[in-house]
Structure 1
Amino acid sequence: MTRTLFRLSLPLTLVLVIFSGLLTACGKNTTRNSLGLAMEALDEMPAKVKAAPVMVQQAYQFNAANPEIMKQFPCYCGCGSMGHTSNYYRDLNGDGYICMKPLPFDMHLHVDNSLP
Structure 2
Amino acid sequence: MKRITSLLFLGILIAIVAAGCSSKLNDQSWKLDKKHSPLPDFVLNTSEKIQETYVMAATYPEVVAQVPCYCGCVNDGHKSNLDCFIKGMGPENAVEEWDSHGIA
TM-score (ref. length: structure 1): 0.46
RMSD, matched Cα: 3.1
Note the C-alpha offset of 1:54: 0.5
**Of 46, 49, 52, which residue of structure 2 is paired with 1:58?**
52
Note the C-alpha offset of 1:77: 2.8
Contact 1:39/1:64, CA 8 A, preserved across alignment:
no
- Give the structure, 1 or 2, with the largest relative contact order (CA under 8 Å, sep 6 or more): 2
Note the C-alpha offset of 1:40: 2.1
CA distance in 2, matches of 1:62, 1:84: 18
The size of the alignment, in residue pairs, is 67
CA distance in 1, matches of 2:62, 2:38: 19
**Of 82, 98, 101, which residue of structure 2 is paired with 1:99?**
101
Identity %: 29
SS of equivalent residue, structure 2 residue 58? helix
Q: 1:87 to 1:97 in 2, by over 3 A?
A: same
Note the C-alpha offset of 1:81: 0.7
**Of 67, 70, 80, which residue of structure 2 is paired with 1:73?**
67
Gaps of 5+ in 2: 1-23, 89-97
Query: Is 1:49 the equivalent of 2:46?
Result: no
Gaps of 5+ in 1: 1-33, 101-105, 108-116
CA distance in 2, matches of 1:52, 1:76: 19
CA distance in 1, matches of 2:80, 2:74: 9
Greater share of residues in strand: 1
Greater share of residues in helix: 2
Find the counterpart in structure 2 of residue 15 from structure 1.
Answer: none
Contact 2:42/2:100, CA 8 A, preserved across alignment:
no
CA distance in 2, matches of 1:40, 1:57: 10
**Partner letter of residue 98 of structure 1?**
S
